[in-house]
Amino acid sequence: MKRLSDIGTIKDILSRHGFIFSKGLGQNFLINPSVCPKMAELSGAKEGVGVIEIGPGIGVLTQELCSLAEKVVAIEIDKRLIPVLSETLNEFDNVKIINDDVMKLDLNKLIKEEFGDMKVVVCANLPYYITSPVIMKLLEDRLSVETITVMVQKEAAQRICAEVGTRDSGAVTVSVNYYSKPEMLFGVSAGSFMPMPKVDSAVIRLNVYKEPLFEPENSKNFFKVVRAAFSQRRKTVLNSISSSLGLEKQTVNKLLSDSGVNPQVRAEKLSMNDFAEISRRISL
């Protein structure tokens, strides 16, 4: 197998295919040889396990996943990379490449068709321009996947993995925690990529709950309240919820008090349970 984390090999492949990086598609390819084996192993890829990869690029992580997993389905939006992947993955017969936009795919259907009863995990070095939308799609689609192991920008990783109710938390922290238990795995320096991005990255793992934390009939309200509460981070939860949802201050004040929440605190102070209590009482 041609080691794709070798910079000379990567340059050779890319120049033979006349490939030019697309900034718009978040194309920063991994060139640090120690990252992919570690990431693939921590994703839970092994015999009997199917893996969905998003954005295989030239296949550096895909090769590691194929060596460990039963089957890998990799979704790549850039059609220029398809012939590259045919070359770099040609020794594996357990991989399928889908040339599509992950945001447009019915992933539940894909899992049923490609993996049947196999246990499935997600593992990806995500394109940074759509990190949160991809993560939220994976969670909101309620896929039957056990874990989602993704590389994201370090700041996004810290935000997602922050404790709910602390200063570092945000709407994405609460939303991700509704569906899963996030875990910081390891940091990856900016120099591990070509071209080199401006910021460092980190690998996180979301351990997906079989059922979300609260009853589904409240979930719409729950996410509306979370988004509203964090819409103006520096304001009190009373002000941000009332202005963002267009509700009378008096009504929101009573709602918060009835939910056991101090209306004068900021959203970052609220627990999962506080958000649940508010969303149970609010009528939107």
Q: CB of residue 10 vs ligand SAM: minimum separation in angstroms? A: 9
Nearer to ligand SAM, 29 or 179 (CB): 29
* Smallest distance from ligand SAM to CB 178, Å: 23
Q: Give the nearer residue to ligand SAM in terms of CB position, either 27 or 236.
A: 27
* Minimum distance, C-beta of residue 151 to ligand SAM, in the bound complex (Å): 7
State the minimum distance, in angstroms, from the CB of residue 75 to ligand SAM.
5
Rounded alpha-carbon distances, angstroms, from residue 110 to 73, 141, 180, 242: 9, 12, 21, 41
CB of 157 to ligand SAM, least distance (A): 14
Element holding 179 (H helix, E strand): helix 171-179
Question: CA nearest 237: which of 275, 273, 266, 276?
Answer: 266
Distance in angstroms (rounded) separating the CA atoms of residues 36 and 32: 8
CA distance 101 to 173: 25
Q: What type of residue sits at position 72?
A: V
94, HSE (Cβ side, Cα atoms, 13 Å)? 20
Please classify residue 21 by burial: count the beta carbons closer than 10 Å to its beta carbon, then call 0-12 exposed, 13-18 middle and 19+ buried.
Answer: middle
**What's the min distance (Å) between Cβ of 169 and ligand SAM?**
26
Nearest CA-CA partner of 205 in 152, 243, 279: 152
The binding site for ligand SAM (CB under 6 A) comprises 25-30, 54-57, 60-61, 75-78, 81, 101-103, 125, 127, 130
Complex with ligand SAM: residue 31 or 278, whichever CB lies closer: 31
Helix (H) or strand (E) holding 181: strand 180-188
Residue showing the smallest CB distance to ligand SAM in the complex = 55
Nearer to ligand SAM, 18 or 48 (CB): 18
Number of residues that this document lists for the chain = 284
- The DSSP letter of residue 98 is E
Q: How far apart are CA 205 and CA 47, in angstroms?
A: 20
Residue 76 or 274: the one with the smaller Cβ distance to ligand SAM is 76
CB of 181 to ligand SAM, least distance (A): 25
**Dist. CA 207–CA 83, nearest whole Å:** 34
Closer CB to ligand SAM, 104 or 234, in the complex: 104
Nearer to ligand SAM, 89 or 252 (CB): 89
